Structure 1
Amino acid sequence: MVNVTYQNQNIKQESLKYTGKAKTVYTTNDPDILWVHYLDQATALNGKVKETITGKGALNSEISHLLFDYLTRKGIENHYLKKISATDELVTALDIIPIEVVSRNYASGHFVSKYAVTPMTKLEPLVQEFYFKSDALDDPFINDSQILALNLATSEELAQLRRVSQDVNQLLHALFEQIGIGLVDFKLEFGRTATGDLRLADELSPDNMRLIDTLSGKSLDKDIFRQHSGDVTVGYRDVLNRLQQVI
């Protein structure tokens, strides 16, 4: 596939912009639109461990499509434009802010080891954390004053990142609860449009969320790959099948 139609415009895939851990991004003949292709690749330890997993790209793409479409209907502004194949989508070109916003409903992962908390302890209020987006530095924790001093975002933007992340958490938590899935924690990324407006970006999939079956406690996310506990696509397909019942 090299071109598609979007809003009566012929969009052509052009040059490779960058290759990430799970996606490749291309420029198009429209400078305001990017072409995203999901890869059949799983990574851990910030890309230090990689493995090809057939079918993973299509699962992530479809889950992300459903969740972005859902959030759009709920009024969350984001970069998603159109799904154009099983593994490809069009998105608005953004200037990505190098900050990862992590929201935690329950204690898991590094939060457990860092603070000696019992796994799956409910966290009230919702814990929000910022990390500097840099694989070379292993995405270090970063606080508000450091963000401001490094000119990564303004104080107004930080407040918006927190507010939107909290809104997304409330919406996704309720959605997943309907289908028997617990939203443990998740990572969001944001970017600025050409006019400086903030929008949700990246993807929404089990690659950047911790999801568990509420009855069994079984992991349905990338922890399956990290912990070598089974076929990661089984968990992802379970999430997709359940979402398709309610979206």
Structure 2
Amino acid sequence: KEGIPTHYVQEINDRDTFVKKVEIVPLEVIIRNVAAGHFTLRMGVPEGTEFKTPILEFSYKNDDLHDPFINHYYALALGLATQEEIDTITKYAFKINEVLKKILLDANIRLIDFKVEFGRLSDGTIILADEISPDTCRFWDATTGAHLDKDLFRRNLGGEADAYQEVMKRLLG
């Protein structure tokens, strides 16, 4: 609907979904709107600092190496993606950010950051091939700043199931 092609085809039931077969581009794509998580440690910026412009980051999708932070020159040099693919991924990632921020703010939720992955169809077309959920995003209540995301689990704060239900309730009514 928003001009971002995805792997989604059809929901079968509560547990199963048909998706298009893709070859995953081995890049994790992160968009940050507000300082949080590893960024605050790496850059020494206080959590909650709003950026003047969103930040785009790439990580090399490699579990053995713990998904190291890379830039697009690494991706090109290692043959992980072409310049055209990186340009498309970048365009889609910023568009996803724009769309999600509006949808979430309408539900009184701030989009702090998120991670997505992209895939190549058999013809080479780049499409979004990932979920968008409280497990792959940081969501904060826009009024209170309360976490509604994976950090409740990561920080052993508890209440993640209730927070995820709250996100669903706000988005789906």
* CA deviation string 1:62-112 (max 9, x = no partner): xxxxxxxxxxx2221000111111121110000100100100000000111
**Residue of 196, 207, 211 corresponding to 2:124:** 196
The structure, 1 or 2, with the larger RCO (C-alpha pairs under 8 Å, 6+ apart) is 2
Paired residue secondary structure (1:78): coil
TM-aligned CA deviation for residue 142 of structure 1 = 1.0
Tell whether 2:172 aligns with 1:172.
Answer: no
* CA deviation string 1:196-225 (max 9, x = no partner): 100001211111000011111111111111
Structure showing greater radius of gyration is 1
More strand by share: 1
Partner of 2:62: 134
**Residue of 43, 46, 51 corresponding to 1:118:** 46
Partner of 1:220: 148
Cα distance between partner residues in 1 of 2:160 and 2:53: 31
Cα distance between partner residues in 2 of 1:83 and 1:146: 36
TM-aligned CA deviation for residue 232 of structure 1 = 1.3
Cα distance between partner residues in 1 of 2:96 and 2:72: 21
Partner of 2:30: 102
Detail structure 1 runs of 4+ shifted over 4 Å in the superposition. Answer: none
Provide the aligned C-alpha RMSD in A.
0.8
Partner of 1:232: 160
Cα distance between partner residues in 2 of 1:209 and 1:144: 22
Partner of 1:210: 138
TM-aligned CA deviation for residue 125 of structure 1 = 1.5
Tell whether 2:11 aligns with 1:83.
Answer: yes
Cα distance between partner residues in 2 of 1:155 and 1:75: 21
Tell whether 2:85 aligns with 1:157.
Answer: yes
Paired residue secondary structure (2:32): strand
Unaligned runs of 5+ in 2: none
TM-aligned CA deviation for residue 231 of structure 1 = 2.4
Tell whether 2:116 aligns with 1:182.
Answer: no
Unaligned runs of 5+ in 1: 1-72
TM-score (norm 1): 0.69
